[in-house]
């Protein structure tokens, strides 16, 4: 049965972790996967999470099956965070929200549901995009194309190209958009540009699917989520997948959600029933622990403030690392304008290094980034940044 099974390539992002773990270089630095580490290079355990777990331990609960769509209080808290508790779509019952296994789970449930209601559509992702977007929608049965995004020459976004591609897409096309902190480039379009994208999506009858895995890592929780309000204001039906992996440093708990904004409450009820089928046939129902932590934090005012402060501290530290990286690269002799590193948002910097240079960074220096040139600046710290900058300069 398995004699002709081919060896699959290593995952371009998570596969690096395996290679990193096996590397014996004592100076190695993992800038591959999108994970935030503190200034001591440690994965943080947020205080709000510890406190929520302490409260959960004080009133221990047996672990029955959750409803297929997850913990009700969690789904409600997600809606409050993503849309605002007072948003018309929330108070009007027009959003179908389900707990999902991380942001990836939200994308997958959305993709499976879309394949049923919009089977002949093409999915457009940004060029470049998170490596898993293409694979995930392809596996759900969609042809996946791209819209222009990164402008290598000008170190920014080819917005004219992006808009032209969206304008040219046939009705029903699913357009996958990064709500904030674009992965992998770190370049986000402006509010005005969002308005143009939304107008085009509306005029062309396209389907927007927003991936919001990094809310709070750009300019702030509200600022990063502002684009959602624009889609709501435009009166569109759309999808939003959210993740708390990064913002709660709960990577291993796989806490995410999918929200589908519908035209009416009645429509949302029908959509929810279909999302539940997608969940049931993929993994039956979601796990309890991580979502309970997030629900507790988001609905307990003191814990929520604590979380917002801890997330702000992560955001600020990443920005400091961006500035410091520019300083170190400049001091190490790199010529030219490096301000793009500070302009980029979120965990990543698209360094402009090519695959050969990334391979050299790994092989010669134990500095791991993605072959596309993406490096995770959230894993830089005051101790490793000088070493990383020197290594980058040597491969340039």
Cα(113)–Cα(244) distance, rounded to whole angstroms?
Answer: 22
Q: Which of 13, 82, 100, 114 binds ligand LMR (CB under 6 A)?
A: 13
345 is catalytic: no
167 is catalytic: no
Q: Which of 36, 37, 83, 130 binds ligand LMR (CB under 6 A)?
A: 130
- Which of 130, 276, 328, 371 is catalytic? The answer is 130
- 185 touches ligand LMR (CB under 6 A): no
Cα separation values, 118 from 113, 199, 342, Å: 8, 21, 40
**Identity of the residue, 296 or 372, whose beta carbon is nearer to ligand LMR in the bound complex:** 372
Cα(124)–Cα(208) distance, rounded to whole angstroms?
Answer: 10
- 183 touches ligand LMR (CB under 6 A): yes
Residue 96 bridge partners (DSSP): 260
Residue 211 bridge partners (DSSP): 178, 241
Sketch the per residue contact string, 74 through 113, with ligand LMR: x for CB under 6 A, - otherwise.
Answer: ----------------------------------------
Nearest to ligand LMR by Cβ — which residue?
A: 34
- 33 touches ligand LMR (CB under 6 A): yes
- 31 touches ligand LMR (CB under 6 A): no
Cα separation values, 43 from 19, 217, 367, Å: 19, 16, 18
**Identity of the residue, 14 or 203, whose beta carbon is nearer to ligand LMR in the bound complex:** 14
Cα(179)–Cα(225) distance, rounded to whole angstroms?
Answer: 7
**Identity of the residue, 13 or 66, whose beta carbon is nearer to ligand LMR in the bound complex:** 13
What single DSSP character describes residue 214?
-
130 is catalytic: yes
**Identity of the residue, 121 or 218, whose beta carbon is nearer to ligand LMR in the bound complex:** 218
For ligand LMR, the binding residues in 357-376 under the rule CB under 6 A are none
Cα separation values, 65 from 98, 258, 287, Å: 15, 19, 8
374: Cβ–Cβ under 8 A, 6 or more apart, which residues? Answer: 183, 184, 185, 348, 349, 350, 351
Cα(80)–Cα(142) distance, rounded to whole angstroms?
Answer: 31
Q: From the CB of residue 134, how many other CB atoms can be counted at a distance below 10 Å?
A: 18
- Least distance from ligand LMR to the Cβ atom of residue 130, Å: 5
- 34 touches ligand LMR (CB under 6 A): yes
- Which of 69, 188, 224, 246 is catalytic? The answer is 246
**Identity of the residue, 111 or 303, whose beta carbon is nearer to ligand LMR in the bound complex:** 111
Positions annotated as catalytic residues are 130, 211, 246
The residues that touch ligand LMR, with contacts defined as CB under 6 A, are: 13-14, 33-34, 130, 132, 183, 213
């Amino acid at each position: 049965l398995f004699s002709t099974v081919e060896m699959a390539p290593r995952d371009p992002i998570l596969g690096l972790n395996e290679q990193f773990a096996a590397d014996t270089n004592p100076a190695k630095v993992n800038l591959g996967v999108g994970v935030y580490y503190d200034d001591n290079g440690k994965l943080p355990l947020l205080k709000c999470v510890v406190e929520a777990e302490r409260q959960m331990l004080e009133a221990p609960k047996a672990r029955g099956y959750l409803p297929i769509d997850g913990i009700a209080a969690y789904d409600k808290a997600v809606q409050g965070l993503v849309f605002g508790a007072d948003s018309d779509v929330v108070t009007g019952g027009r959003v179908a929200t389900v707990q999902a296994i991380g942001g990836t789970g939200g994308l997958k449930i959305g993709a499976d549901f879309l394949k049923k209601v919009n089977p002949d559509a093409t999915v457009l992702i940004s060029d470049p995009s998170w490596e898993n977007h293409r694979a995930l929608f392809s596996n759900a049965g969609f042809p996946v194309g791209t819209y222009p995004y990164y402008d290598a020459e000008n170190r920014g976004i080819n917005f004219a190209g992006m808009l032209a591609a969206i304008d040219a897409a046939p009705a029903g096309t699913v357009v996958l958009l990064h709500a904030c902190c674009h992965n992998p480039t770190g370049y986000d379009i402006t509010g005005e540009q969002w308005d143009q994208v939304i107008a085009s999506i509306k005029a062309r009858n396209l389907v927007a699917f927003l991936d919001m895995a990094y809310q709070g890592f750009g300019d702030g929780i509200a600022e990063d989520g502002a684009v959602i309000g624009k889609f709501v204001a435009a009166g569109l039906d759309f999808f939003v997948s959210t993740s708390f992996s990064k913002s709660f440093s709960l990577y291993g708990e796989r806490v995410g959600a999918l929200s589908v904004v519908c035209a009416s409450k009645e429509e949302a009820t029908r959509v929810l029933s279909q999302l539940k089928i997608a969940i049931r046939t993929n993994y039956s129902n979601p796990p309890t622990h991580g979502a309970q932590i997030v629900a507790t934090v988001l609905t307990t005012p003191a814990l929520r403030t604590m979380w917002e402060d801890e997330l702000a501290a992560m955001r600020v530290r990443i920005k400091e690392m961006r500035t410091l990286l520019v300083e170190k690269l400049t001091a190490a002799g790199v010529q030219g304008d490096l301000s793009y590193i500070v302009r980029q948002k979120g965990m990543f910097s698209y360094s402009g290094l090519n695959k050969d240079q990334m391979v050299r960074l790994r092989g010669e220096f134990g500095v791991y980034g993605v072959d596309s040139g993406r490096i995770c600046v959230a894993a830089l710290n005051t101790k490793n940044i000088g070493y990383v900058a020197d290594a980058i300069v040597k491969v340039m």
